[in-house]
Structure 1
Amino acid sequence: MRTTAEGAWRDQLSDPCRVPVETVLASDSPRLAGVDDEHARVLAESGAVLPPIVIHRATRRVVDGMHRLQAAVLRGEDTIEARYFDGSDRDAFVLAVELNTAHGLPLCSADRAAAAERILESHPEWSDRAVSAVAGLSAKAVGAIRRKVLVEGHDVPARIGRDGRTRPLNSAAGRRRASELIAADPRASLRKIADQAGLSPGTVRDVRERMRRGEDPVPSALRTGRPAVGDADGHHRPQPFQLPSRSSGRDAAVMLEALVNDPSLRLTENGRHLLRLLSTHAISRERRARIIESVPPHAVATVSEVARECASAWEDIARQLTTPQRLGGVHRETER
């Protein structure tokens, strides 16, 4: 899929021709408020030669140019210059949105949001950026609409980007395939392997570098992704993050790594602040010994007092976190 309507649909648009006005039907317009009569009147009175409208050949409905059609009627014209679109009904709406976003009376934000929702329902395989390029919204806004409107049954294993390339949502299988292709032909170009494995050249480069270092070509996050859990309605929700159970003598670095991977901490400001503090204070025994040796004699008493204050603060945090009320909340969350 290319990013301009003219380029993307050129092979499905006919050459301009004159069409009887009475044979043209009203459009399936992305404009929620319909035709703006004042805008059509201004076009009619301008006397300008207006660009051809676009008509969906299969349905005779206007894809683009309802204001120009009404202006022709106001001028008393029997025919209008038009181009026929020979694509599908669902693609006709996409073209209507793209053309109305690119020129003429701009679509309002509500029009663009409604159009993006409809495109996501008819083209769930399109990436957020591909939809945003058509609807005139940010990819972030499209992603929010996708999460709101798409339910089970719309899930697709891959999405089509703005460049027309299909990329899997989980690249683990593609990475495995790329590693096999690299092993079979180490001198093959990144682009060639990317095309065969359905990945981007950047991902193939990462696979190649991992193989050179003797690492698994699939990152641990993709190898250990937790499956979704079905709820009572048959929809899917993410499985709650769970920390490994603590055992005596457990390495604090291992526990800290588990905390760093907890999205409920790393995706909030206070959570990130806590992780930074814990990372600073998670000191190995060897490092501890070197720190103690580096303290000069005149600063021993002050460093000891500050260390005790810090230890007291962390002990207070630990004590409050392990109250029956807090632990009860943890147990209830785990049992959900």
Structure 2
Amino acid sequence: MEMNSLPLCIWKDKDLKLSDIQVSEQVQSRSEICRQTVSTYAAKINEGEMAPVLVFCDGFRYWLVDGFHRYQAAKLVNHTKISCRVAYGSKRDAILYAIAANIDNGFKRANADKRNGVETLLSDSEWSQWSNHEIARRCGVSHTYVRKLRLKLQESNEINPLIQTRQSVNRIAFRNGREYPIDVSNIGQLDR
């Protein structure tokens, strides 16, 4: 699976009311909104040069996935609608997609943004079962960074103890589009 691919990824262009779009801090992978970027984008919106934002529709709600700065810029210039690319997806799909949204493009991610993405995956009961390599791939960081952050969060009890127990034995690795369980219980242990 590609970093930003979706199951049943069907994109459709549509103008949506800003008020119809769900803006969730859980989906926003950035640590904060940059006011200067919002101002720059507001000028581009007024010139008609802004790319559409990306939203996922779960059948009931439209979740903003990529374009939080553009969304804020549209509000700043008092627009009531914004151009969107819409795909089918749940809020969880939106969270996972948003973590990788600015790896290769857009406003450059700060270290705090990268950490936020990794922590989001590590604090989730399902995603935390993924290997350090898979989490690193999804977040656009090194696997050693994920390993160090995982250990730090476990030591400070910021990761749920039930998750820690399950992680101590099994994780999930991905190869050729398939999932494989891996036993990590002996990693770091010396043979005696």
Normalized against structure 2, the TM-score is what? 0.76
Alignment partner of 1:18 is 2:15: yes
CA distance in 2 between counterparts of 1:68 and 1:38 reads: 12
1:88–1:147 Cα change, 3 Å: farther
Question: Is the counterpart of residue 52 in structure 1 residue 69 in structure 2?
Answer: no
- Aligned partners of 2:102, 2:64: CA distance in 1, in Å? 12
Counterpart of 1:125 in structure 2 is: 129
Ranges in structure 2 where 5+ consecutive residues have no aligned partner: 154-158
Alignment map for 1:1-336 (pairs within 5 Å): 1-3=1-3, 5=4, 8-9=5-6, 11-28=8-25, 29-33=28-32, 35-46=33-44, 47-58=47-58, 59-122=61-124, 123-149=127-153, 151-155=164-168, 157-161=170-174, 163-170=176-183, 261=191
* Cα distance change of structure 1 residues 12 and 100 upon mapping to structure 2, 3 Å threshold: same
Contact 1:85–1:92 (8 Å) recurs in 2: no
RMSD: 2.9
1:309-328 CA-to-partner distances (Å, cap 9, x unmatched) read xxxxxxxxxxxxxxxxxxxx
Does the 8 Å CA contact 2:54/2:86 hold for their aligned counterparts?
A: yes
Q: Deviations over 1:83-132 (max 9, x none)?
A: 23432322311111111223211221122112102112321232222211
What secondary structure sits across from 1:38 in the alignment?
A: helix
Change (3 A) 1:158 1:107: same
2:63–2:91 contact (8 Å) kept in structure 1: no
Measure the CA separation in 1 of the matches of 2:88 and 2:169. 27
Shift of 1:68: 0.9
Q: Which 4+ residue blocks in structure 1 deviate beyond 6 angstroms?
A: none
Q: Quick one: distance in 2 between partners of 1:102 and 1:168? A: 29
Task: Return closer, same or farther for 1:64/1:156 CA change in 2, 3 Å cut-off.
Answer: farther
Distance 1:159 1:39 in 2: 37
Q: How many residues align?
A: 175
Give the 3 Å change call, closer, same or farther, for CA 10–106 of structure 1 in structure 2.
Answer: farther
Give the share of equivalent positions with the same residue, in percent. 24
**Which amino acid is 2:143 matched to?**
A
Deviation at 1:44, TM superposition (A): 1.5
SS in 1 for 2:12: coil
Shift of 1:72: 1.9
Evaluate the alpha carbon distance shift between residue 162 and residue 45 of structure 1 in structure 2; reply closer, same or farther with a 3 A threshold: farther
Closer/same/farther in 2, CA of residues 130 and 48 from structure 1, 3 Å limit: farther
* SS of equivalent to 2:103: helix
Relative contact order, CA 8 A, sep 6+: which one is greater? 2
Amino acid at match of 1:9: L
Instruction: Please list the CA deviations of residues 124-157 of structure 1 after superposition, one character each: whole Å capped at 9, or x if unmatched.
Output: 2322222112212111111222233351144563
Query: For the residues of structure 2 that align with 1:76 and 1:115, how far apart are their CA atoms?
Result: 31
The offset of 1:48, in angstroms, is 4.3
TM-score scaled by length of structure 1: 0.46
Contact kept, 8 Å, 2:57 with 2:90, in 1: the verdict is: no
Which is greater in Rg? 1
Kindly provide the CA deviation profile for residues 28-87 of structure 1, in whole angstroms up to 9, marking residues without a partner as x.
211122x21211111121324222212232443311111111222233332111123432
Unaligned runs of 5+ in 1: 172-224, 227-237, 242-260, 263-336
